[in-house]
Each structure stands twice: as structure tokens, then as C-alpha cells.
Amino acid sequence: MRWAWILAVVLILIGLAPVIGIACAQMLSALADCPLNTAFPQPCVVFGADIGGPLTTLNGLNWLMFLTAPAALAGFALAIALALAALLRRARDR
């Protein structure tokens, strides 16, 4: 049963990876006070390095959510099913 919980967490993390990347890009651009555009990279110099290209790439990963959202949904469904099974097992044992 432990492997099923691990699988559920891995599926959820894979499904939410683009969201995490977008959030990191937004946070870094806000902290560096740089404009963030999905069409083309804006210059954003942090500690002497231009991170505008990677920020644009991270922000453009929202299209990847079309591929990873089903994995997240499957992970959430598996987690709910496992939680219900544990709840029923606990109720039956009392």
C-alpha cells in the first residue's frame, strides 16, 4: 500500500511541475523587478548574468500542462481512493 501512496505523490508532482516552474519564474521576475513576457525574452540581469531567456522558458511551460494535467488528476484520484480505502478499513476494524 505504501508504493501506491508514493505513486500518487509522484504523479501529482509530475502533473504540477509546470505550475511550479511558472510560479518560480513569476517570483524571480518580481524579485529582480524584470518584465516577464511569454513572446520573447526580456533582459533581466541578476548578479551579472542575464536570466531573461530561462525565465521566458519557465513561463512558457504553461503549454506543457496539457500533457501533465492528466497525470495530476490520476494522482489525485489515486490518493482519494487510497484514503477512502484506509478509512473503510479503519471503520471495519473497530
- Whether residue 85 has pLDDT greater than 90: yes
pLDDT exceeding 70 applies to what percent of the chain?
A: 100
Q: Residue 88: what pLDDT? A: 95
- Whether residue 70 has pLDDT greater than 90: yes
d(CA 13, CA 72): 7
pLDDT in tens, 28-53: 899 888 888 888 888 888 888 888 88
DSSP string, 46-79: ETTEE-HHHHHHHHGGGGGHHHHHHHHHHHHHHH
